[in-house]
Amino acid sequence: MELLTTQVAIIGAGPAGLLLGQLLYKAGIEHIIIEQRSAEYVASRIRAGILEQVSVDLLKQAGVDQHLKEKGLPHSGIEILTNGQKHRVDLSALTGGKQVTVYGQTEVTKDLMMAREAAQLKSFYEAQNVQVSDFYQTPKVHFEYQGKSIQIECDFIAGCDGYHGICRASVPQDKIKTYEKVYPFGWLGVLADVPPVADELIYVQSERGFALCSMRSETRSRYYLQVPLNDRVEDWSDERFWEELKSRLDAESQKKLVTGPSIEKSIAPLRSFVTEPMRFGKLFLAGDAAHIVPPTGAKGLNLAASDIAYLSSALIEYYVEGSDQGIQEYSEKCLQRVWKAERFSWWMTHLLHRFEIESEFEHKIKQAELSYILGSTAGKTTLAENYVGLPIHA
């Protein structure tokens, strides 16, 4: 067995793990990333598309925002389409000038991976049988790599290994509590090299179900349809997808919609999920390893980023200033922001999706709520300030 030591072992090379690695590197803190998939697989995943200013600022702090500055699309508003009418929510006017940036998670991951490679930082991709242990005393990570058995002894473990990872699963049951809500539908997503139907995102609430018109650039679009949970991707030809999307759009958007062959098509389940606490001795959970939101509020990637903002500053404070205050406060600080984003994501999902079990009265109440929100400055302000992202420091 090969024995290694480091200060921080990071499990997972998704956005959370890679961003933490880059911030620790900039602060001169030794760390190693252990990832079960290949670098090619990680770099190819198609997921989120919207960055809050908090995430943009973090990527700048990490020194990886060059492409983001060149290719990111600042957006100051979103449209909500209901009853065939589009209503613009002027995010900037309602939040004192804040914006979101359209920039794919795939690009964020590639930017972080390129920076990591350029700095020649230690990463184990395609690590097998990863295990974490002894994280209340002397944390250890054990795994197989290219046929060799490797053990890392470290000061801390950052569990950035996503919803299906092993870090949360390694915590004793009597030390952890989870909260979960599973939604009775999924999102069928399509990526296509066609110009977006509009300059800004359109969130659609229709009798046939939710739809979202998003984008990755001025020539690449990302669309989603609410579909039943038991639908499979093979049930959806490109033609059927475009026809169903059109049927949920308003007349103007139907005319403007440019269709074309899908370059990616997948169905993602929707759930709300939170782990409490997010620290177990010297093991921290961050990102999807600790929480999941339905993508309706565009919060998943951004919550991972804010967890990493808290965790990186806590670890830097520990090693540079010798204080463990940030470490002690990590879980509570994250959960304050996590639960507010969970509420907003649940609320947007509840408001904009068709629930089969909904009574006619409940459906009418939801219509009235959406009509109030879109007709009220106070209502649109609450939507806008949550959508652009709540402050990271209270």
- Our finding on whether 141 is near ligand PHB (CB under 6 A) is no
What's the one-letter identity of residue 115?
A: A
Six token digits for residue 247? 């049927």
Q: For residues 124 and 242, which CB has a smaller minimum distance to ligand FAS in the complex? A: 124
Site string for ligand PHB, 218-237 (x = CB under 6 A): ----x---------------
Rule CB under 6 A: choose which of 48, 91, 115, 198 binds ligand FAS.
48
Classify 323 as helix, strand or coil: coil
Catalytic residue, chosen from 86, 265, 299, 366, is 299
Which one, of 266, 250, 268, 237, lies nearest residue 197 by Cα?
250
By CB neighbour count within 10 A (0-12 exposed, 13-18 middle, 19+ buried), where does 220 fall?
middle
Cβ 67 to ligand PHB shortest distance, Å: 17
Should residue 352 be labelled a site residue for ligand PHB when binding is judged by CB under 6 A?
Answer: no
Q: Are 282 and 155 in contact (CB under 8 A)?
A: yes
The contact mask relative to ligand PHB for 184-203 (x = CB under 6 A, - = no) is: -----------------x--
How many residues does the structure list for the chain?
Answer: 394
Tokens found for residue 291: 């929480």
- 20: tokens are 């933490």
What is the 8-class DSSP label of residue 282? T
Residue owning tokens 């996503």: 162
Q: Judged by CB under 6 A, which stretch of 53-61, 291-299, 311-319, 375-383 contacts ligand FAS?
A: 291-299
Q: Where are the alpha helices (DSSP H) in 72-163?
A: 91-94, 105-118
User: What track of x and - describes contact with ligand PHB for positions 29 through 58 (by CB under 6 A)?
Assistant: -------------------xxx--------
319 part of the active site: no
Query: Could you say which of 62, 201, 204, 298 contacts ligand FAS (CB under 6 A)?
Result: 298
3-class state of residue 28 by DSSP:
coil
In the range 270-309, which residues lie near ligand PHB by CB under 6 A? 295-296, 298
- Number of residues forming the site for ligand FAS (CB under 6 A): 33
Catalytic residue among 75, 86, 265, 353: 75
Number of helices and strands (H, E) in the chain? 12, 19
Q: Is 173 exposed, middle or buried (0-12, 13-18, 19+ CB in 10 A)?
A: exposed
179 is catalytic: no
Which entry of 31, 295, 319, 333 is annotated as an active-site residue?
295
From CA 82, how far away is CA 63, in angstroms rounded?
Answer: 41
Cβ 275 to ligand PHB, closest distance in Å?
Answer: 22
Whether 19 contacts 112, CB under 8 Å: yes
Residue 69 appears among annotated catalytic residues: no
Q: Could you say whether residue 166 binds ligand FAS (CB under 6 A)?
A: yes
The count of chain residues that interact with ligand PHB, using the rule CB under 6 A, is 10
Report d(CA 22, CA 11) in Å as an integer: 14
In whole angstroms, how close is the CB of 50 to ligand PHB at the nearest point?
5
Binding span for ligand FAS by CB under 6 A among 111-119, 145-153, 177-185, 297-305: 297-305
Distance of CA 242 to the CA centre of its chain: 26
- Burial (CB count within 10 angstroms: exposed 0-12, middle 13-18, buried 19+), residue 266: middle
Beta bridge partners, 140, equal 133, 153
Among 32, 80, 130, 245, binds ligand FAS (CB under 6 A): 130
Residues lying near ligand FAS in the complex (CB under 6 A): 11-17, 34-37, 42, 47-49, 105, 127, 130, 160-162, 164-166, 268, 287-288, 295, 298-301, 304
Active-site residues, by number, are 75, 203, 295, 299, 387
Q: Which residues bind ligand PHB (CB under 6 A)?
A: 48-50, 201, 212, 214, 222, 295-296, 298
